[in-house]
Amino acid sequence: MRLPNPYSLEETLEKLRHRLAAACNEDALTLLEKAVTKAHDDEAYAKHFEETLLQGSTIEIRECLSCFGDYFERSRDTPPYYPHHDAVNGIDGALYAILFDAALPSTEQAHE
């Protein structure tokens, strides 16, 4: 499922950081910052990362972040059982919450 992203890359990153910090999702925030750092150092990755955040689907987010871990890795014996999987899902969930908020503003905002 794709929702339109009305925000710039910088706005999207700011909103993601805020939402992940508010949710105390440090693993997802760390993964996001790894991707941002890689994007600063790798032009091809930067383009892919931007396209993914601005236009991508859940699958494309998994693919974009796959250079940092295996989304489908086997469970670990101790917590966190699926650290990369959980971090990717945290980013994906936060992004879709941001996009849903933008696509379906509250009734109060719609009447302003």
C-alpha–C-alpha distance, residues 87 and 77, integer Å = 18
- Reported as a pLDDT band with limits 50, 70 and 90, residue 3 is confident
C-alpha–C-alpha distance, residues 90 and 93, integer Å = 5
12-25 tens-digit pLDDT: 999 999 999 999 99
Tokens representing 36 are: 């941002």
The crossing angle, in degrees rounded to 10, of helices 9-22 and 26-41 is 160
